[in-house]
Amino acid sequence: MPQTLHATGALPVVVVLGTGGTIAGRAARPDDLVSYRAAEVGVSDLLGGVPGPVGVQIESEQVAQLDSKDMDLVVWQRLCDRARHHLARTEVAGLVITHGTDTIEETAFVLQALLQPHKPVVLTCAMRPATALAPDGPQNLSDALVLACQTRAHGVLVVCAGKIHGPAEVSKVHTYRLDAFDSGDAGPLGAIEHGVVHHWRPWPEANSSGVPDERQRWAAFQAMANLPRVEMLYSHACADGRLVRTLLADVHLNGPEQLRGLVVAGAGNGSLHHRLQAALLEAVEVGVRVVRASRCAYGRVAPSQGDPFENSGGLSPAKARLALALALMGS
């Protein structure tokens, strides 16, 4: 627990891990908010424009430099490893991770599943590049630093546009608005207003955050070359199940190409076109785990008795995919 910091008399440290994203983006012109390149500005330069909370020592480390659409297992392994290393340091109050908005919710999920941290691990981002006329990154980073040194906060958190989101609920819901994230029916965990943290719902805890506790799979996660293969597909008008049957050809492959699971984003309450449903039942019969999620941004698929498919438990399709892939590790 982090409260030993003040007892030692040392300045608390917040470590900022850079991974890239639009927050580190650079455009040829300051009015260009579209054709910029993400992941260009180093994390120490990003911090140069942000004063940081008084009485807190800031350290930074560039863990990766990528557009988060290209996020992969190698970067997650390294990020989890560096986060775990710094969290174990007594003098560290919390971490900030700068990240692209496109897959920040997936990284938050993976970090919470594998670390279940007792200190705050605050992911933050930006919708405008660092070179914009009015960039949003510096304020988000400043808010994240404030939250990362709150001794009572813990768990993996996502901060954007003054809101604090939890790792199970957070989703990117807008393509260009600065306030691009939403926490569905649950709502944000809190807000940061004028440098003050307002806390509305409990911080994420192991076993009650909505993210499975996968700490026992740490060694397997760090050692693997690929996550177990889980594909994601939609139900939609005219769906015919052909995509599923094409994928089923890969069930008998060996190694990382072997199909292990499918997440289907059903319409509404997870409902599936009957032809797609028939193909997914064939998948279950040959040992593929099939999870039912929803295309809807709000609500969860109500479990029904005798459902042949697993239920995503309110997770978005992308997070249900990760939950299943992590669960399949080592099996």
Closest CB 130 distance from ligand SIN, rounded Å = 11
Q: Of 227, 233, 265, 262, whose CA–CA distance to 248 is shortest?
A: 262
Least Cβ distance, residue 35 to ligand SIN (angstroms): 13
Q: Which is nearer to ligand SIN, 39 or 264 (CB)?
A: 39
Q: Which residues contact ligand SIN (rule: CB under 6 A)? A: 20-22, 38, 67-69, 100-102, 125, 127
Q: Which of 22, 98, 101, 131 is catalytic?
A: 22
**For residues 216-233, b (16+ Cβ closer than 10 Å) or e, as one string?**
ebeeebeeeeebbbbbbb
- Tell me how far, at minimum, the Cβ of 214 lies from ligand SIN, in Å: 24
Minimum gap (Å) between residue 192 Cβ and ligand SIN: 19
Yes or no: say if 53 and 93 are a contact pair by the CB < 8 Å rule.
no
Which lies closer to ligand SIN via its Cβ, residue 87 or residue 122?
A: 122
* Cα separation values, 112 from 109, 172, 254, 266, 327, Å: 5, 18, 30, 26, 14
CA separation for the pair 285, 296 (Å, rounded): 28
**Least CB distance to ligand SIN at residue 115 (A):** 21
Tell me the residue nearest to ligand SIN as measured from the CB: 100
Per the annotation, the verdict on 22 as an active-site residue is yes
Helical segments of the chain, H only: 4-8, 43-48, 73-87, 104-115, 137-148, 218-223, 242-248, 274-285, 317-328
Which of 3, 35 has the CB closer to ligand SIN?
A: 35
Which residue lies nearer to ligand SIN by CB, 21 or 212?
Answer: 21
Distance separating alpha carbons of residues 82 and 138, to the nearest angstrom: 23
Of 101 and 294, which CB lies nearer to ligand SIN in the complex structure? 101
Active site residues: 22
